[in-house]
Structure 1
Amino acid sequence: MGRKSLKETRQKQIIKAFYKLAKKEGLENASIAKTADLLAINPSLVIHYFKTKEHLVYGLVEYILDRYLLIFDVPENVQHNPKKKLLAVIDNIFSHKWNTLFDDSVSYSCYSLAFRDKVIKEKYKILLDSLRKNLEHLIIECNEKGYLKVDDTAAVADLVFILVDGAYYYLSLVSNKREYNKKLGTYKKRALGLLNFSVPASSAG
């Protein structure tokens, strides 16, 4: 058990360092040697845990995808109220929290590899399906409690994330903060519209 724990800890340290390099220099310029240098360790130790840069990229992709799932972390005081929990998740999705979980440039660089690498493609597919399933589960809970009346819960969850994906892809090109916030608010209202929710005063803006 101890060996496994140490291995996982060391792997996470290496991946985080590789991620930091990718943010600073671009994924294409991040390397095993630079990662080792950043951690002040021998490159052979990085190779011990990740045989090639390709394997290190796989680890990075898993790290980024795990960060995506943190969007479902909501305050304890809303955990037992399906409506408040769903609204809190929508708030998280359409907020700056989404962008602080991972760097867009690294995420998109990794995503682009899915067009050439079947392993990465499958990892992204599993994660994005998981996001949709988690959101659908929240919608179903609200249906059961009478907060919503959504007939095709899977389709609505899918449409919300289609809106999310398109929104952040476009907003990555928007530099003006006021324009960014205005558009993000508009997209959030559209998502709530799919759920037949109105925007509560407490979460406006």
Structure 2
Amino acid sequence: MGRKSIKDLRRQEIVKAFYKTAKAEGLHNASIAKIAEAMNVNPSLILHNFKNKDELVLALIDYILSRYQKIYTTRKDGSAIDHLREVLNNLFSRKWNALISDDVYYSCYSLIFRNNVIRSKYKDLHDSLRAWLESHLVECIEEGSIELEDPKRTANLIYTILEGAYYYLCMEKNAVKKDEIMQQYKHHAYDILKLKV
């Protein structure tokens, strides 16, 4: 794999600064001027790399996807079922929450109702997350550690539980209560797979 160009590195740096600014100020308040100020650069540098804020938002959604991929990174050794358990434990934990600010995620998400490109990006993001989980389930089926008739449907069901959990947990401020609720949802996912937690 070749090295990234200076332009690619600069664009990544801008997107990360955009994310941090959106996290601190809110997505709607994260202007190009504020991003430039956070980076200590002239706004023209940002506009040289991104035509406008809409293009930056699209790059931010790609950044969100790349961050979420980290939840699927498991140890190299171990069986397929060990890897699946690690993924499930990561999904139903604060690790997932710590990857991307809920505020930034849901602010970007709300744009799907007005922008078809953003809607398509979010759909691709969610389809990818489901496909990654499905691939873990298929590996476990091939290994003989779980039995499922339809791994795709099962992955979709587990993600429906997960997405509902995170949507609801955004409203819960008590950390202990959040952990208790998330454990309940994790148990449901394990029950679907006929596994013990």
TM-score w.r.t. structure 2 length?
0.96
Within the candidate set 103, 121, 130, 1:123 is matched to 121
Aligned to 1:98: 96
Aligned to 2:68: 68
Within the candidate set 133, 136, 143, 2:134 is matched to 136
Aligned to 2:173: 175
Residue 7 of structure 2 aligns with an amino acid whose one-letter code is K
Aligned to 1:82: 80
Give the drift of 1:151: 0.3
Matches within 5 A, 1:1-205: 5-78=5-78, 81-199=79-197
Q: Structure 2 stretches of 5 or more lacking a match?
A: none
CA deviation string 1:71-102 (max 9, x = no partner) = 10112333xx1000000000110011001111
Counterpart-to-counterpart distance in 1, 2:132 and 2:30:
33
Q: Percent identity, please.
A: 45
TM-score w.r.t. structure 1 length?
0.92
Aligned CA RMSD, in angstroms, stands at 1.2
Counterpart-to-counterpart distance in 2, 1:151 and 1:121:
31
Moved >2 Å (runs of 4+): 75-78
Q: How many residues align?
A: 196
Residue 188 of structure 2 aligns with an amino acid whose one-letter code is R
Counterpart-to-counterpart distance in 1, 2:149 and 2:135:
13
Counterpart-to-counterpart distance in 1, 2:55 and 2:103:
20
